[in-house]
Amino acid sequence: MPNNRKRLVGTVVSDKMQKTVVVAIENRKMHPVYHKVVSSTRKVMAHDETGVGIGALVQIVQSRPLSKRKRWVVETVLESPQDLAD
């Protein structure tokens, strides 16, 4: 049975809640008329058991609703904030 849940990559921008982080997902696409790259940012709340810090690059996966605004779970940490500082 294939696992067809959506996966997104984003940066952690807030970790002030217990077991929850806010992840910013950046979307870049070309404007159809003006041929300029337009970027938009979407912030989603994700469940986090490991305690990821601000600035970490994470992969999140879609899950069942965990609360009113939380429908994503942190799957893997691609780059931690310590790796980015070096």
pLDDT digits (tens, 9 = 90+) for 9-59: 999 999 999 999 999 999 999 999 999 999 999 999 999 999 999 999 999
Q: Which fold has domain 7-85?
A: OB fold (Dihydrolipoamide Acetyltransferase, E2P) (2.40.50)
Domain ranges of the chain: 7-85
Burial of 9 per CB tally in 10 Å (0-12, 13-18, 19+): middle
pTM assigned to the model? 0.88
